[in-house]
Amino acid sequence: MMLAVSLQNVHKLFNNVPVVNNLCFTIQSGEMFGLLGPNGAGKSTTIRMLTTLTKPSQGRIEVAGFDVVRQALQVKQCIGVVLQQTSVDGDLSVWENMELHGRLHHIRNPQRQRLIHQWLEYVELADRRNDFVKTLSGGMKRRLQIARALLHQPQILFLDEPTVGLDPQTRRRLWEIILDLNKQGMTMLLTTHYMEEVEYLCDRIGIMDKGQLISLGTLQQLRAKHGEGLAIKQVGTKDAGRWEYQFFPTLEQANTYLEQQKDKTGIMVRPSNLEDIFVELTGRQLD
C-alpha cells in the first residue's frame, strides 16, 4: 500500500522551546488516523507542518510523496484542510466561499460549478447556497469547511478538532460524513481531544503528549499493549479517597486478582478503555 504521510524525526521549536519532539510515524493511503492528546500537546502544530503552514525546525515530512518544504505547492494540490477556527468568510455567501476556493485552485467551469453543486449537496447545504455564511450555525459552517476542502478533489484530508464545540447531534452527523468519505477511499488525519471520536472513527491512534508520540496502534493493539483488564481500587475514605488503577493483560486475570482479595469492598473490575490508557500514560485526564 502507498504511503500517504511520512514523518521522520520531526522537531518544531518556537522561540527555542520544543513543542514537537522527534515525531516519527507514517499513514497508509486510505487510512483514518487519529492524533489524540490534551490541549498544548502539539497536535495543531503537527497538522500545520503537514499542511505546509509551518515549517518543521528539523526532520523530514512527506505528504502524498512530496516534501512539505521543498514541494509545498504539490502538497497543497493533494490535500484538503479543515482547521479549528472556522476559516470561511462570513460576509460571503455559501456559494461565493466555494467559488473563491475553486478559483484559487484554478478549477475551470463548467467543472467548478458542477463540483460546487455536488459537494454542497453532499454536506446538505445546497438549499443555503445564497445565504451569508455568518447566518449559518457552527455545524453548518464546519460542513461548509469540509465541502470547500473537498472541492479540488484532494487525496488526503486533514481535520484539526473537527467537532470541537458542536452539539452531540451535529457531531454525529459530521462523523457520518467523515466515515463515508473514508469509505470512498479518502485518507484522513484528524486531531481531537475527544476519546470517543478516535474510538469511533479511527483505524489507528497516535497518542501525543508534550510534543511526543507516546503510543501508537489500533485500539485493540493499544489495549493489548497496556492491558485489557483493569482493577480499580478505592483507597482511603469515600470523601477523601482516590482511585488506584491496576492493568492486567486480560480481563480474566483482573477477575482472578479480585477473587484473590480477602476484602473485595471498593474494588471494581472492567475492560480497559482508551481513556484508562491515556491516563496511565500521561498521568492526566482529558477534558
Ligand X SMILES: Nc1ncnc2c1ncn2[C@@H]1O[C@H](COP(=O)(O)OP(=O)(O)OP(=O)(O)O)[C@@H](O)[C@H]1O
* Interface positions with ligand X (CB under 6 A): 14, 19, 37, 39-45, 193
CB closer to ligand X, 37 vs 154: 37
Helix 274-282 and helix 219-226: axis angle, to 10°? 50
Note whether 32 and 182 are within 8 A (CB): yes
Q: Is 40 helix (H, G, I), strand (E, B) or coil?
A: coil
Q: Is 68 helix (H, G, I), strand (E, B) or coil?
A: coil
Q: Single out the residue of 117, 144, 149, 122 nearest to residue 133, CA to CA.
A: 144
CB closer to ligand X, 41 vs 64: 41
CB closer to ligand X, 166 vs 224: 166
CB of 14 to ligand X, least distance (A): 3
CB of 18 to ligand X, least distance (A): 9
CB closer to ligand X, 120 vs 205: 205
CB of 19 to ligand X, least distance (A): 3
Kindly write down the DSSP assignment for every residue of 220-244, as one continuous string. Answer: HHHHHHH-SEEEEEEES-SSS-EEE
CB of 274 to ligand X, least distance (A): 17
CB of 84 to ligand X, least distance (A): 6
Note whether 231 and 257 are within 8 A (CB): yes
Q: How far apart are CA 108 and CA 90, in angstroms?
A: 24
CB closer to ligand X, 23 vs 125: 23
